Structure 1
Amino acid sequence: MILSARNLHWSAGGVDIVRNVSLDIRPGEFLGIVGPNGSGKTSLMSLLCGIRKPGQGEVALDGKAIQSLSRRDVARSIAFVEQQAETQERIDARQAVELGRTPHIGALTPWSAQDDAIVDQALRDVDAGHLAKRMWHTLSGGERQRLHIARALAQKPNILLLDEPTNHLDIGHQIALLHLVRKQRLTVAAALHDLNHAAMFCDRVAVMKGGELVALGPPSSIFTAALIGDVFGVEVLVERGEGDICHIRYQPPRDKDFIPRISDE
């Protein structure tokens, strides 16, 4: 299943947020979408899942315009985890994950033992089985984020879209979560802040700047000191290992006007 974007434009308040973005998310790949704050990553994710309608251009799912499909049909193929997804309902953690089964439940397909098994597995996958009976409002931000991922996995999508999925997670759970996502037999696109996470887990990266797609390809070829300096405004050293492995080392800012005072004390 291929998710495609063609010449996407989207504006808000008279300001262009996404401009002329075209890309294909290939079956089975992990695509990282990176860029500084305000570069259009979150807006692009919303367009890709059909939550927002582009001002120009089109998003297509296996060649069919996503705006022509019902929300239920889209939800059976695409799961989207928003950066600030939240619920005000008084439900427990397991009930929150069970919401992922909604697109598959109907009058002719009531809840079954298979649905229970899928929810149980999703909770285990994100190391949240012990949270199942906890009320939602008692959970930390990191715990809630892991459960949002579990809800998306319970949806059993072909394509998983994640907007900053590692927000609120400690480093151990960040790595574990991305490793988990990488192992799923899914097509994945994730907006990521950490370039080293993108280099470690992604097959390709799409680099956004000012609402435009400025680079697209394998991390080892896309992540250069020149590109990172231009897009993010930071100085880095890019170390390259065997195969397609690369690691980004950030350098401290150079303040030409600052002269350190050396003391003999």
Structure 2
Amino acid sequence: MMLSARNLSWSIGGVEIVEDISLDLHAGEFLGIVGPNGSGKTSLMAMLSGLRKPRSGDVLLDGMSMTLLQRRDVARRIALVEQQAETQERINARQAVELGRIPHKGALSPWSRHDDEIVDRALRDVDMEGFGKRMWHTLSGGERQRLHIARALAQEPKILLLDEPTNHLDIGHQIALLHLVRKQKLTVAAALHDLNHAAMFCDRVAVLKAGTLVAMGKPCHVLTPALILDVFGVLVDVELNGADGCHIRYRAPSLLAT
């Protein structure tokens, strides 16, 4: 299954947030979307998921314009974990994950043991199986974020879109979560802040700057000192590891003035 953006643009208040972006998300790959704050990552993710209609351009799901598809049909194929996803309902952790089954349920498809097994697996995958009865409002931000990921997995999508999924997580859970996502047999696009996470887990990275796509390719080819200085305004050293790996070392800010 392929997801494609064709000349996507979106603006608000006359300010161009995303400008003429085209890209293809290939079946089975993990695509990282990186860029500084305000570069358009969240707006792009919203358009790719179908939640936001582009001002111009189109999003294609297996070659068909998403505007021609019912929202339920899209939700059976694409799951989005938003950066500020939240719920005000008084539900417990398990019930929050069960929401991921909604696109698959209807009047003639009542809740089943199979649904329970899917929810159990999703909770186990994000290391939250012992939290099922905890009320949502008692959970930490990191715990809630892991449950949002579990909800998306319970949705059984073919494509998983993640908008800064490691927010509120400690470093151990950041690595574990991205490793979990990488192991899934899914097509994934994730907006990421940490360039080393992108280098470690992503097959390709797309780099945004001021709403435009300025580079795209394998992390070790794209994340060069020159590009990182231009896009993020910081000096780095990039160490290559093997044929495709790399590690980014940031220089102390005081060195920028020398």
- Bin for the TM-score computed over the shorter chain: over 0.9
Whether 1:131 aligns to 2:131 is yes
Counterparts of 1:183 and 1:215, CA distance in 2: 26
Q: When the two structures are superposed, what TM-score results if normalisation uses the length of structure 1?
A: 0.96
Whether 1:96 aligns to 2:96 is yes
Alignment of 1:111-122 (within 5 A): 111-122=111-122
Counterparts of 1:107 and 1:177, CA distance in 2: 34
CA displacement 1:20-54 (0-9 Å, x = unmatched): 10000000000000000000000000000010000
Alpha carbons 2:235, 2:256 under 8 Å: kept: no
Alignment correspondent of 1:261: none
Whether 1:212 aligns to 2:231 is no
Percent identity, please: 74
Alignment correspondent of 1:32: 32
Alignment correspondent of 1:107: 107
Alignment of 1:220-235 (within 5 A): 220-235=220-235
> Which letter does structure 1 place at the counterpart of 2:101?
R
**5+ unaligned residues in a row in structure 1: which ranges?**
259-265
1:79 is paired with a residue whose SS is: strand
Counterparts of 1:101 and 1:181, CA distance in 2: 19
**Aligned-pair distance for 1:247?**
0.1
Alignment of 1:30-179 (within 5 A): 30-179=30-179
Alignment correspondent of 2:195: 195
Alignment correspondent of 1:10: 10
**Aligned-pair distance for 1:243?**
1.8
Counterparts of 1:117 and 1:245, CA distance in 2: 37
Counterparts of 1:257 and 1:76, CA distance in 2: 52
> Which letter does structure 1 place at the counterpart of 2:247?
H
Would you say how many aligned residue pairs link Structure 1 and Structure 2? 258
Counterparts of 1:95 and 1:31, CA distance in 2: 30
**Aligned-pair distance for 1:67?**
1.5
1:177 is paired with a residue whose SS is: helix
**Aligned-pair distance for 1:241?**
1.4
Alignment correspondent of 1:183: 183
Counterparts of 2:175 and 2:256, CA distance in 1: 37
2:185 is paired with a residue whose SS is: coil
Ranges of 4+ aligned residues in structure 1 off by more than 2 Å: 254-258
**Aligned-pair distance for 1:257?**
7.0
**Aligned-pair distance for 1:254?**
3.2
CA displacement 1:111-154 (0-9 Å, x = unmatched): 10000000000000000001100000000000000000000000
Counterparts of 1:194 and 1:126, CA distance in 2: 20
**5+ unaligned residues in a row in structure 2: which ranges?**
none
Superposition CA RMSD, Å: 1.0
Counterparts of 1:13 and 1:173, CA distance in 2: 38
Alignment of 1:252-263 (within 5 A): 252-254=252-254
2:76 is paired with a residue whose SS is: helix
Q: When the two structures are superposed, what TM-score results if normalisation uses the length of structure 2?
A: 0.99
Counterparts of 1:231 and 1:35, CA distance in 2: 7
1:254 is paired with a residue whose SS is: helix
2:238 is paired with a residue whose SS is: strand
> Which letter does structure 2 place at the counterpart of 1:58?
D
Alpha carbons 2:79, 2:157 under 8 Å: kept: yes
